[in-house]
Structure 1
Amino acid sequence: MKSAVITGGTGMLGLALVRHLISKNIKVLMIIRPDSKKANNIPKSPLVSTIECDLKELTNAPIPEGEKYDAFFHFGWEGTYGDARNDMHLQNKNIQNTIDAVYLANKLGCSVFLGAGSQAEYGRVADGVKISPTLPTFPENGYGIAKLCAGQMSRIECKKLNIRHIWVRILSTYGPFDGSQTMVMSGIIKMLNGERPQYTKGEQMWDYLYCDDAANAFYCAAEKGIDGSVYCIGSGNVRPLKEYITIIRDMVNPAQEIGFGEVPYFDKQVMYLCADIEPLTRDTGFVPTVSFEEGIKRTVEWYKSRL
């Protein structure tokens, strides 16, 4: 891989992937939203160029005639949070956008298309069961249904066009540029502000992966993944949520009191989330290298640097 195209590249994972590709001396074209508020976060590098194009206009993306690229990473998606996850018209448009991304990848001569899926494609999973590519899927919201459909339809289109297709289902990730409302980032912000954060009992067994490891997983999957494969993206290990929160506290302010057990569990609370990364490791050689402790240290330092 010497060149790549990325949609949705201004989010945490997209930016981590861009940084990773730059480190490999790979030329990157980022397709970003017109007037993107996150454009300033894009790494400054002669290897990175951007064009503005709405996701629904991908087939008419203003890319100079004759430009060719090796890989296409499709991260762009509308309606990932809150009520928008069940906006069926919006989620349906995401499926069309994904198929259009495949057509653009073909136009640009890409030999591999990697799409970003989600754990939401599985719906509710029994406690203690690792999320694997072969686990039955039964999504419970429009977002998960659309992700599943987009993955399956884009695979069929890629097969028609002789493009290698990879679909990655992402579990819980964290790191610089993460959203302020996530468990990790909200905890860091509150503790840095001296606030007393409140949580559930924190008994959930959870799998967290640092964004730079996730970026390497995407790269490895695009480089070496087997055509038509689904890969689950995580660390492959679980720890109690309480342990993760305590690590954040110890890194930010060891004296900070934490309100464990002060927030009730959700109805039908998921108590176990872990990725089976054995297929990804077997096919691509990917192995996570950043511990949660190190990842939190880097994330806290990044956040402080922006204050």
Structure 2
Amino acid sequence: MPVRNLQILVALMVICLACYFQAERLKYAGKLGYAIVKIKDNYVDEIDPQDLYMAAMKGMVSELDPFSEFIPPSKYEEFHSLIEQQFGGLGILIEGPPAVPQLTVVAPIPGSPAFAAGMQPGDVIERIGEQSTEGLEATEATGLMRGPIGEPVALQVKRIGVTEPLSIIIHRGDIQVDSVYGDHIRHDSSWEYLLEEDTRIAYIRITLFGEKTVSELKKALSTIKSSARAVIIDLRFNPGGLLPAAVEMCDMLLDHGTVVSTRGRNNRLIHEFRADPGLSLDPSIPMIVMINDHSASASEIMAGCLQDLGRAKVA
């Protein structure tokens, strides 16, 4: 066979294979589109095709396994802000049910709009705008207070020692959020990691694994390394975040061993992350990592790694 004819034949085979796989994809896309149109045209109520598409995507991903979740565009922006540790908000650390009976201010973030407006630790937020906070969890309340920078948010606040509720209007600002907390805040607005009850013990609470968490933990460990005789790392209610952050943070506390490995289909090894020599904390200092049912993803990786390699006990 002439070389030119062979080249043409090979090219045709490649095109046919590409068309076959494309046709397979288009077949399922066509069925999905057909179903959306049929539901839109025949359902008893008016329905937005975009809502149907989002519901279909959510359903497909949720069928994969309990840990897979479809993130719609509206939620992705919120998730991205969380990971960046930056958003438009008031700058209040709050607790809500079930931890405390009512939505309560733990502390305003120094320099934030809430701090400038005079919000105080112990203030109970009774209303956000027109919505009562009764039974509202902290995550839901946080969502209500976040939004475009510069817009006002009206709060009704019950303050200790004040008879009547206070009406406070705060304009949202650009909030930089800590993800590593200590036991309490010092007078200079920095975190104190040593427990008030026993200054030999350091308490480090990590709320998520964001873009700034690694540098925050480095700072915390640098602060306590010459004074702490034991360390508590609190990962309770930590939903996770960036895997590279968890790997770097484990590496600070380990000088050998596999931090985590990722495997794909057929158990194929994709990545293996190992700890490098060098530590940010004396390895002889005992450590406890606290977790609960709400500790997930990167939190589980960090806790499991430190436990498996004998660096910490998990409680």
> Greater RCO between the two (CA within 8 Å, min separation 6)?
1
TM category, shorter: under 0.3
Bigger helix fraction: 1
TM-score (norm 2): 0.27
